[in-house]
Each structure stands twice: as C-alpha cells, then as structure tokens.
Amino acid sequence: MPEVPALRLHGVRKAFGAAVVVHDVSLDIRARATTGLIGPNGAGKTTLFNLVAGVVAPDAGRIEMHGQPLLGLSAAARAARGISRTFQEIRLFPTLTALENVMVACQGNRGERLGTAILRWGIAAADQRRVQARAEELLAAVGLAHLADRLPTELSYGQQKRVGIARALATGQELLLLDEPAAGLDPDAVRDLAALLRRLAGQVGTILLIEHNLELVRELCDEAVFLDAGRVVVAGPPAEVLEDPRVWRAFMGL
Ligand SMILES: Nc1ncnc2c1ncn2[C@@H]1O[C@H](COP(=O)(O)OP(=O)(O)OP(=O)(O)O)[C@@H](O)[C@H]1O
Ligand SMILES: [Mg+2]
C-alpha cells in the first residue's frame, strides 16, 4: 500500500487581487523525510507555508496532513496538530530573553493567550517551572542553553534563527516548516545549522524547508521541489532536481 504523505496539496490556488501567486499546486510531502522547497524570489514559497499553516486561505484546492483535511481548521487548530513554522524575518520578542521567547511559545502550545507581562508575573509558580524546564530543554536542543538569558539583540543572527527554531519546536513537532533558515548565515553557521537540522530530522516528524542555499538542500534533503511563478516545475530526489536545466536557468540566470 502506498505510504500516506505527511502533507498533500491538491489543486491549490491562491491569488492576491489579480495576481495569482499559487497556481493549481499538487504536491505530496513524504512523511519522516526532509524536503527542500526551492525557487526564485516571489515564486510563492512562503505563501505555500502560509496556506499550510492556515494563516492564508486558498481560493481552491485541498490540503491534507496524514490524510486528514486541514481546510477549515484555524491556524491554532493546525498548530495543535503539530504544524509549526519559523519566519523568514525571525520575529522574536525584542524585550524578552531567549528563554522567555521560547517560554511564550510553550504557553501558546497550551492554548493560552498570555501576554508577556502575565508570563512574568501572573502564572502559578509550578506552571512557570514546568514551562521553563520545557523551554530550557528546547534551547539546549538547538545548542543555546548557555545563552538563555540573552536578549535577541545580544545574539548573532544565526543564534536568533535558532531561537526561532526552538520556538517552532515548542509549538509542534509533527510538521516543521522552516522558512530560509540558512539565509544570512556565514559558512560556519550554515554548517552548524546543517548539523542541527540533521539531528532534528531524526527527532521530529517531517521537515519542509524553504532554502536558497542549494548545496544545503543537496546535503540535507531527501526530496526537493522546485517552485517557479507559483507552479511546481519539478520534484524528486535533490540530485535530479538540482541538475534540471530549468532549475539552473532560474538560479544562474542562464
Ligand atoms: N499578503 C499578500 N498580499 C499581496 N501579495 C502578496 C501577499 N503575500 C505575498 N504576496 C505576493 O505573492 C508573491 C509570492 O510571495 P512569496 O512571499 O510567497 O514568495 P517567496 O517564494 O517566499 O519569495 P522569497 O524567496 O522572496 O521569500 C510575491 O509577488 C508577493 O509580493
Ligand atoms: Mg519567502
């Protein structure tokens, strides 16, 4: 029997006004694998994440996770099913420490909408300790245990991105959507990130990764999908997708 994909998109379409950004996308994302989503700027990659996460509604088509329809479920309900994501622009709370940033995400996981002031002063001590222990675990998992009390401005860009990954892990681990985790990192930080993602691949359900660093996709991903102008052009093993002339043309301007 064919394996049920972690994520299935069928005929998904999304337009913003007159601009069709995602055209009739049908795509299976293999469960327990790491898939790289590549494509030029404006191809619709982040929009695809927003459609899966439930922050943008499609005009047409179906989206299923493990065979269950997601459409009609709110973003919060999808998070409760284990869909989590990082943001291209990171989005940390600037006045909270790394640990507190992860704690807020742990709170969200329990369906509570606590403000940051309440996080500090309001919740019961036992609850606070449990949330803190979980957040410490997640920061350690991304290699930042020693920087728990730092503010985002005191962290390097790569470290801030790791806090973002820890926050995503706090909200769900069934389907992790990472939006350009390597963008803006120096080569050492990219190597560290690759090691982290390889480790996470053994621990979380399924990883879908938007990335412009094609070497990273080649190294890390089990599958690759090339999206251009809102359409899936080619999908398959990274070695094949990255050799496709249509991909070269898009990335090298050939
Ligand atoms: N909320 C929105 N309203 C109007 N247009 C939007 C909205 N979100 C995205 N777009 C447009 O949709 C197109 C695809 O954007 P998207 O962010 O999905 O691309 P991307 O593939 O993630 O690009 P990048 O590599 O630059 O991050 C772009 O032209 C963008 O301007
Ligand atoms: Mg994007």
Q: What is the pLDDT along the chain (254 residues), one digit of tens a residue?
A: 678 999 999 999 999 999 999 999 999 999 999 999 999 999 999 999 999 999 999 999 999 999 999 989 999 999 999 999 999 889 999 999 999 999 999 986 444 445 555 555 555 677 788 899 999 999 999 999 999 999 999 999 999 999 999 999 999 999 999 999 999 999 999 999 999 999 999 899 999 999 999 999 999 999 999 999 999 999 999 999 999 999 998 887 65
Superfamily of domain 1-81+210-254: P-loop containing nucleotide triphosphate hydrolases (3.40.50.300)
- The per-residue pLDDT for 111 is 41
Considering only CA atoms, which of 183, 226, 178 is closest in space to residue 201? 178
**The predicted structure's pLDDT at residue 252:** 76
Query: Strands across the sheet with 19-29, in order?
Result: 19-29, 7-16, 60-65, 68-69
Ligand closest in space to the Cα of 39: 1
d(CA 27, CA 10): 7
Strand partners of residue 64: 8, 69
Closest ligand to Cα 18 = 1
Residue 241 in contact with residue 234, Cβ under 8 Å?
yes
- The atom number, within ligand 1, closest to the CA of 44 reads 18
- pLDDT for 118: 55
User: What pLDDT, on a 0 to 100 scale, did the predictor assign at position 125?
Assistant: 72
For ligand 1, the distance from its centroid to the CA atom of residue 41, given in whole angstroms, is 8
Work out the number of other CB atoms within 10 angstroms of the CB of residue 166. 26
What burial letters (b/e) apply to 96-115, b meaning 16+ CB within 10 Å?
bbbbbbbbbbbbbbeeeebe
Ligand 1 contact via 42 beta carbon (within 6 Å): yes
What does the pLDDT read at residue 202?
86
Q: Considering the domain 83-172, what is its CATH architecture?
A: 3-Layer(aba) Sandwich (3.40)
Q: Where in the chain is the domain with CATH 3.40.50.300?
A: 1-81+210-254, 83-172
Q: Whose CA is nearest to atom 17 of ligand 1?
A: 46
Q: What are phi and psi of 206, to 5 degrees?
A: -130, 140
CA distance 107 to 98: 15
* Residue 115 pLDDT: 53
Most informative mutation of 12, 21, 211 for ligand 1 (most atoms within 8 A of CB): 21
Q: What is the pLDDT of residue 197?
A: 96
pTM, two decimals, is 0.92
- Beta carbons of 22 and 230 less than 8 angstroms apart: yes
